[in-house]
Amino acid sequence: MENANVDKGQVREGVVVSDKMDKTRIVEVTRLMTHSQFKKTIRRKIKYAVHDDTNQSKAGDKVRIIQTRPLSKTKRWRLIKVLAS
């Protein structure tokens, strides 16, 4: 997975929250944004269904994912690299 072309598609980093499915992981990506009215920093979380071909990531791992073609009904992201276990 290391040789994935990172120039194409968006890249995100997140934490694996579920590894119960075969070749599929649920990754939670947190981003910081400023509230438009109150100017306070808030966290926004979104969960992505990610294709993990070799089942190398486990729950709690920090991973890097890349946007790809539709692989199933919900999977639009692919695992590039496990950053930390």
Residue 49 sits in a domain whose CATH number is 2.40.50.140
Cβ atoms of residues 83 and 27 within 8 Å = no
Q: Which residue, chain included where needed, has tokens 């979380």?
A: 45
Q: Which domain holds residue 44?
A: 11-84
Cβ atoms of residues 81 and 1 within 8 Å = yes
Cα torsion angle, 13, 59, 30, 66, sign: positive
Q: Residue 24 falls within a domain, yes or no? A: yes
Q: Residue 1 falls within a domain, yes or no? A: no
Quote the pLDDT of residue 17. 98
Task: Please check the confidence at residue 85 and state whether its pLDDT lies above 90.
Answer: no
pLDDT tens per residue across span 58-78 = 999 999 999 999 999 999 999
Q: Residue 3 falls within a domain, yes or no? A: no
How many domains in the chain? 1
Q: Residue 43 falls within a domain, yes or no? A: yes
Alpha helices (runs of H) in 1-85, residue ranges in sequence order = none
